[in-house]
Every structure is written in C-alpha cells, then in structure tokens.
C-alpha cells in the first residue's frame, strides 16, 4: 500500500503551524527536543514571514512565546550559508533587545532558545543534533560557577547556563533514518516527510492527520505544489551552478599545472645554458630564476647567447 504524502515541515511552518488549532503539533516537536513540557502562548511576527521563498533568503522561521515567557525561534534552511553561526548569534541578540522593556532591570532579560533545522552540512561533525549553551568554569579549579539560592529565586532558573541562550542545531542529512527514540521519530519526519504507523512521539499523530496533502483545500494544495516545483527549480539551479563552477575550476587547475610544468622546463633549460656558458650560476640568479614567470624565462633564454656576461643578462632584473 502506498504511503500517503505528507506536507514538508517547511511548508507546515510557513502556512499551517502558525494556527492555534495546530499548536499541538509544534508543542510535540518542542517537547521531544527540549525534554520538557512546552506550551505555546502565541506565535510572534518573525523576520522572514514573507510569501515567496526567495524573498526570505531560502529560510523559514517561526518565533514562539511559550508559557514560561521564553522566546523560541525555529528556523529551517536548505542552502549553505558560511556565516550561519554568526547570523544565529545576531538574531539571538536582536530577539533579546527587541523584548527588553525600557527601564527594566537586567534580571528581566528574556531567555531565547533557537532551533535550527538545517538541510546543508554546517561545520564538521558526524552527529545530527548539536546543543550549545553558556557556562563558566574556574580557570584553576575547573569548578562550574553556580547560582546562589537568592539568584535562583530571582531568575527562576536552576543554573547559570539556564539564563543564557540555548542553541539546537539539527543537521537533517546526517540522520541515518533509524529511529532509536521519540526525538528520532521527529527527525525522521523532518528528513523524509513521512510518519510511520509505529511512531509514538508527541505531536506526530496530529501531524499525520493535519499535514496530509490530500486534506488540503484545493487552492492550498495547488500553492503547495507550486512551492515544491520552485524548490526543485532552485535545487537544479544550485546544482548547475556548482557543476559549472567545479568544471571551470578543474580547467583552471589543469592550465595552472601545464604552466607550472612549462616554467620548470624553461628554468632547467636556462640553468643549463648559463652553466655551459659561464661555468656556474650564482645563488641570487638561481633564486631569480625560481621566482620568475614563464615570459621572463623565455626572454632570458633567448638573450643567453647574445649577452657578454652574466651581470649583463641580469642587470635589469636585480
């Protein structure tokens, strides 16, 4: 029996999961990832909530406020961005300052959690989920700095790391399609747009029901199909650009190799000519030959038999 097609998670973030009726799906994903019960209060206006995919720099994001007054930014991106981590840092700082009320003490700085669902390979690492936070350790004792009881009461946080932003990077392509736990079931869905019947992760049952392509209204289904076609077109463009660039690079590499070979050949010829005519080649002349370009070497070779002395040959080159 053919598996029924489910909407990709990027389209769900873009169009469906912003609805309060579908909060259960998003809450399930966040609960499984963060290992704590997450309740969504509202979806806030995000940076890239535009209609056309190219208008938002090939990413989809969702800014969420949970019941603990924390900001959770869920971002999905397909194409490589070399300075992605710096942009992540910038967007985190921006979210903090945007939600800092003027005149309030620093104790009211909001906690930000970022979740990046990445379909490109970011950095080096074989795992498919990475977690980053901030902690302080003694330079001499290696003891981790802890909050005192008063700070715990004031911040309503158990640790220093819990005050600072947290970052989750999900490198979807690194996942091996083996669902070992309920979080893996979600990653399987993110990678394959498929939910198996034996999956039990929170939110997936609702996702399988609500994200069925066949359940979409006709206009919404056509919009989704156009979106998928655009993804294919952009993937083909990236592949073609990469292929052309790689071919051009290979051609340039071959040309450089040929030129290097010619340089080495001309240098040997010139050295032998100088040795035959003058008996030896001074060190400074050998160094000059080694650093010369092909046109210089050719010119020197032609001038060898017309020159009266080695000094004359290199007088305008020293």
pLDDT at residue 54 in the model? 44
User: 130 or 17: whose pLDDT is higher?
Assistant: 130
Residue 250, domain extent: 238-314
User: 149 or 221: whose pLDDT is higher?
Assistant: 149
pLDDT, average across residues 198-206: 94
Torsion of CA 170, 11, 8, 217, to 10 degrees: 160
Tens digit of pLDDT for each residue in 238-252? 555 555 566 666 666
Considering the domain boundaries, does residue 288 fall inside one?
A: yes
Q: Write the DSSP string, 199-255.
A: ---TTHHHHHHHTBGGGS-HHHHHHHHHHHHHHHHHHHHHHHHHHHHHHHHHHHHHH
Considering the domain boundaries, does residue 3 fall inside one?
A: no
pLDDT at residue 255 in the model? 61
Torsion of CA 229, 224, 77, 180, to 10 degrees: -110
User: Do 104 and 170 fall within a single domain?
Assistant: yes
User: 151 or 101: whose pLDDT is higher?
Assistant: 151
pLDDT at residue 2 in the model? 43
Considering the domain boundaries, does residue 114 fall inside one?
A: yes
Distance between CA atoms of residues 123 and 57, nearest Å:
20
Tens digit of pLDDT for each residue in 283-300? 656 666 666 655 555 555
User: Do 146 and 72 fall within a single domain?
Assistant: yes
pLDDT at residue 13 in the model? 85
pLDDT at residue 103 in the model? 77
Last residue of a domain, one of 216, 247, 265: 216
Distance between CA atoms of residues 19 and 22, nearest Å:
6
User: Do 156 and 253 fall within a single domain?
Assistant: no
pLDDT, average across residues 45-55: 52
Binning pLDDT at 50, 70 and 90, where does residue 233 land?
Answer: low
Q: Helix (H, G, I), strand (E, B), or coil: what is residue 130?
A: strand
Strands (E), the chain: 40-44, 59-66, 71-77, 112-118, 129-132, 166-171
User: Do 307 and 187 fall within a single domain?
Assistant: no
Choose among 183, 200, 188, 214: nearest CA to 6. Answer: 214
pLDDT at residue 164 in the model? 95
User: Do 44 and 144 fall within a single domain?
Assistant: yes
pLDDT, average across residues 204-216: 82
Considering the domain boundaries, does residue 4 fall inside one?
A: no
CA 282 to chain CA mean position, Å: 53
Mean model confidence pLDDT for the chain: 79
User: Do 65 and 158 fall within a single domain?
Assistant: yes
User: Do 192 and 263 fall within a single domain?
Assistant: no
Q: Which of 107-116, 134-143, 308-317 has the lowest mean pLDDT?
A: 308-317
pLDDT at residue 57 in the model? 45
Binning pLDDT at 50, 70 and 90, where does residue 132 land?
Answer: very high
Lateral strand order in the sheet of 71-77: 40-44, 59-66, 71-77, 112-118, 166-171, 129-132
Quote the number of domains for the chain.
2
Considering the domain boundaries, does residue 1 fall inside one?
A: no
User: Do 172 and 250 fall within a single domain?
Assistant: no
Range 107-135 burial, b when 16+ CB lie within 10 A, else e? eeebbbbbbbbbbeebeeeeebebeeeee
Last residue of a domain, one of 185, 216, 247: 216
User: 232 or 166: whose pLDDT is higher?
Assistant: 166
Tens digit of pLDDT for each residue in 61-81? 899 999 999 999 999 988 888
pLDDT at residue 108 in the model? 86
Q: Write the DSSP string, 131-165.
A: EE----B-TTT-PBP---HHHHHHHT-SSSTTTS-
Residue 43: CB partners within 8 Å, gap ≥ 6?
Answer: 18, 62, 63, 64, 65
Considering the domain boundaries, does residue 230 fall inside one?
A: no
pLDDT at residue 187 in the model? 96
Binning pLDDT at 50, 70 and 90, where does residue 53 land?
Answer: very low
Q: Which of 1-5, 22-26, 75-79, 114-118 has the lowest mean pLDDT?
A: 1-5
Distance between CA atoms of residues 268 and 254, nearest Å:
21
pLDDT at residue 82 in the model? 86
User: Do 189 and 250 fall within a single domain?
Assistant: no
């Amino acid at each position: 029996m053919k598996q029924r097609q489910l909407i990709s998670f990027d389209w769900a973030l873009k169009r469906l999961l912003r609805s309060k009726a579908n909060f259960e799906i998003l809450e399930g994903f966040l609960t499984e990832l963060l290992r704590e019960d997450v309740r969504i209060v509202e979806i806030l206006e995000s940076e890239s909530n535009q209609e056309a995919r190219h208008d938002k720099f090939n990413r989809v994001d969702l800014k969420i406020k949970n019941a603990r007054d924390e900001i959770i930014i869920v971002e999905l991106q397909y194409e490589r961005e070399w300075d992605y981590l710096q942009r992540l840092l910038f967007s985190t700082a921006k979210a903090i300052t945007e939600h800092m009320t003027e005149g309030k003490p620093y104790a009211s700085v909001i906690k930000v959690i970022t979740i990046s669902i990445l379909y490109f390979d970011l950095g080096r690492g074989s795992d498919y989920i990475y977690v980053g936070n901030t902690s302080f350790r003694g330079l001499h004792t290696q003891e981790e700095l802890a909050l005192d009881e008063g700070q715990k009461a004031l911040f309503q946080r158990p640790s220093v790391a819990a005050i600072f932003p947290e970052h989750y990077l999900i490198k979807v392509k690194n996942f091996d399609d083996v669902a070992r736990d309920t979080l893996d079931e979600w990653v399987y869905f993110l990678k394959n747009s498929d939910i198996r019947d034996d999956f039990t992760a929170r939110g997936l049952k609702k996702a399988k029901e609500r994200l069925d392509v066949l359940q979409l209204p006709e206009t919404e289904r056509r919009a989704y199909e156009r979106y998928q076609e655009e993804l294919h077109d952009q993937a083909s463009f990236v592949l073609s650009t990469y292929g052309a660039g790689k071919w051009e690079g290979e051609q340039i590499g071959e040309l450089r190799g040929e030129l290097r070979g010619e340089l080495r050949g001309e240098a040997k010829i010139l050295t032998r000519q100088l040795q035959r005519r003058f008996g030896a080649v001074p060190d400074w002349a050998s160094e000059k030959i080694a650093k010369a370009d092909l046109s210089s070497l050719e010119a020197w070779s032609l001038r060898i038999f017309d020159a009266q002395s080695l000094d004359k040959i290199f007088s305008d080159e020293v």
